[in-house]
Amino acid sequence: MAAQAPVPAPRMRLAFHPHNIHTTIKVYARCLRPDIEYKTLSVTWGTRAKEVVATLLGKFRMRHRDPRLFYLSMEVRVRAAGLRTTLVLDDDARPAALQACHPKGYSKFSLQMRPGGLVKIYDSALMSSSKYKCLLTSERTTADELLAILLHCYDSTEGVERFSLYEVCPSQEYERKLHPDDLPLMVQRAWPQDSDCHFRVRRNPRAPPLPPRALPPPSPSSSESTQDDDDEPSRALSALSLESEGDKRYSPVYKFPSISYCRETKNDYLYI
């Protein structure tokens, strides 16, 4: 009978988890700035390509840049044949794991730029001192992702769901609220060349208040307590000391809910 392979201990399995294996990758990022040749990043085998792009933009403080505008490519060199192959990495690809599949120095990562365009957005709803902001965005960036970039530029803690992006055309007296999944750059490319259309950020109106909650029907115990409250003035009257007719005085008594219990009321004093 063949012997079974030993099962690794839990600590060993944890040590070999992709997110616990650290390494470094070198990313050439000249497309960000001409003076940037490359940047060495410490990553794990579980780090995805889109996370590498976000880390690079954060390292160079380019919060106004659209992360969807960039992607990673991997150049693989075959020494024997003298060939070079460039692979376009998906957003969920793991660069460190791919680098481990090739000899050291035979792979190279580069930050590339997708086709995009400049979008002008009037954003005074986000920052009263700002009139508009121009963002370089990709063709795949949605309206909600564009709002998230604007909020990140202003270090705002508000959520994207509080705002909406509108397509406004003053000359045509037309405006439209963009769907969160609409692509603003593609919408802009459909405008006429000399159009005065633009994008504007507006704050969403508050949600309507909840309807008033219906009161439960009174229970028998509550009706008894109400009856006791109605009898309170009569008990107070019986507690008053009656005086002779010749020596009439005013006795201070609190104001009753109903004056039907009183013979005569004068300035919140009961005359007996």
Domain-by-domain residue ranges, the chain? 18-113, 116-203
Residue 238 scores a pLDDT above 60: no
Cβ neighbours, 10 Å, residue 146: 25
CB 31 within 8 A of CB 112: yes
Residue 228 scores a pLDDT above 60: no
pLDDT tier at 59 (50, 70, 90 boundaries)? confident
Q: What is the mean pLDDT of the chain?
A: 77
The pLDDT of residue 216 is 61
CA dist., res. 224 & res. 230, Å (int):
10
The pLDDT of residue 261 is 42
User: Which tops the pLDDT comparison, 196 or 238?
Assistant: 196
CATH topology of domain 116-203: Ubiquitin-like (UB roll) (3.10.20)
- Dihedral sign, Cα of residue 259, residue 265, residue 268, residue 272: negative
CATH topology of 18-113 equal to that of 116-203?
Answer: yes
pLDDT tier at 11 (50, 70, 90 boundaries)? low
Q: Does the global pTM surpass 0.85? A: no
3-class secondary structure for the chain? CCCCCCCCCHHHHHHCCHHHCEEEEEEECCCCCCCCCEEEEEEECCCCHHHHHHHHHHHCCCCCCCHHHEEEEEEEEECCCCEEEEEECCCCCCHHHHHCCCCCCCEEEEEEECCEEEEEEECCCCCCCCCCEEEEEECCCCHHHHHHHHHHHCCCCCCHHHEEEEEEEHHHCEEEECCCCCCHHHHHHCCCCCCCCEEEEEECCCCCCCCCCCCCCCCHHHHHHHHHHHCHHHHHHHHCCCCCCCCCCEEECCCCCCHHHCCCEECCEEEC
User: Domain 18-113: which CATH class?
Assistant: alpha beta
Determine which of 19-33, 40-54, 112-126, 243-257 has the lowest per-residue pLDDT on average.
243-257
The pLDDT of residue 195 is 87
| Mean pLDDT in residue range 60-84 | 85
CB 201 within 8 A of CB 156: no
The pLDDT of residue 271 is 39
pLDDT tier at 106 (50, 70, 90 boundaries)? confident
What tokens does 204 get? 């969403």
Residue 160 scores a pLDDT above 50: yes
pLDDT tier at 165 (50, 70, 90 boundaries)? very high
